[in-house]
Amino acid sequence: MRQRNKPWADDFLRENTDLIIPNANEYKNKWKDLFGNDSPIHVEIGTGKGQFIVGMARQYPHINFIGIELSKSVIVTAAQKVQESGLSNIRLIQENAENLLELFMENEVDTIYLNFSDPWPKNRHEKRRLTFRTFLERYEEVLHPSGELIFKTDNRGLFEYSLVSFSEYGLLLKEVSLDLHRDDDPENIMTEYEEKFSAKGQPIYRCKAVFN
């Protein structure tokens, strides 16, 4: 994701704490209180500029969406999109997904989305991939037993790696699409990266998996 330095980002974060939640670990096991309802919690990791989470929150008003994004200069763009949407079922957290267990209690999350995660193609960077075993351990902990992990990417290498990683971990693959747009899921919401790569004719891969 292209990251321009945004000198106003710090001020924006300070002024919009209702949307980009500071000290988000204080809401562990209390996210439903923050939203003020009992709707399911869906978490997107690596939210980027926010197109997916806003589209999903509009399509599913009875689901609460939380976007986790590492980059300050990227998350402020997502936050602006959320503000323009006027939707109240989205919150954002500027955090590294490594710290997921500090943010959510066991079983607190109903679905996790990984969209176009950084591929980290070098072997020595394997541990940074969001589908590496140690991340799967965290997802298993916070996901409800019936919860789903939904992963989309244009990167065939990362997709193949992730399918193996999921299977070795013991995840059950519920759906695997090797060309999501040709399979034509009318409910699919495109991310920024998805639009960019599919416009170039690249197939989009998607996997839905559950922890047994």
Contact residues for ligand SAM, defined by CB under 6 A: 1, 45-46, 48, 68-71, 74, 96-98, 115-118, 191-194
69 annotated ligand binder: yes
Find the shortest distance in angstroms from Cβ 201 to ligand SAM: 17
Pinpoint the alpha helices (H) of 6-155: 9-15, 31-35, 51-59, 72-85, 100-103, 133-142
Q: What does the longest C-alpha to C-alpha distance in the chain come to?
A: 45
Judge contact between 151 and 167, C-beta under 8 A.
no
Task: Identify whether 118 is a catalytic site residue.
Answer: yes
Residue 175 CB, nearest approach to ligand SAM (Å): 19
Interatomic CA distance for residues 60 and 113, integer angstroms: 15
Instruction: Specify burial of residue 26 (Cβ count, 10 A radius: 0-12, 13-18, 19+).
Output: exposed
Indicate the residue among 127 and 172 with the shorter CB distance to ligand SAM: 127
Contact of 151 with 209, CB cutoff 8 Å:
yes
Of 45 and 112, which has the nearer Cβ to ligand SAM?
45
Q: Which two tokens stand for residue 204?
A: 């989009």
Report, in Å, the least distance between residue 5 CB and ligand SAM: 14
Q: How far is the CB of 54 from ligand SAM (least distance, A)?
A: 12
User: Which residue in the list 33, 118, 179, 184 is annotated as catalytic?
Assistant: 118
- The answer to the question of whether 148 is labelled as a binding residue is no
* Residue 68, CA distances (Å) to 33, 74, 110, 164, 202 in order: 19, 11, 15, 25, 26
Closer to ligand SAM at the Cβ: 33 or 84? 84
Which CB atom, from 96 or from 146, has the smaller least distance to ligand SAM?
96
Is 118 annotated as a binding-site member?
A: yes
- With a CB cutoff of 8 Å and minimum separation 6, the contacts of 96 are 70
Q: Which residue ranges make up the annotated binding site?
A: 44, 69, 96, 118, 122, 154, 191-194
Q: Which residue ranges make up the annotated binding site for S-adenosyl-L-methionine?
A: 44, 69, 96, 118
Q: Which residue ranges make up the annotated binding site for substrate?
A: 122, 154, 191-194
Q: List the catalytic residues.
A: 118
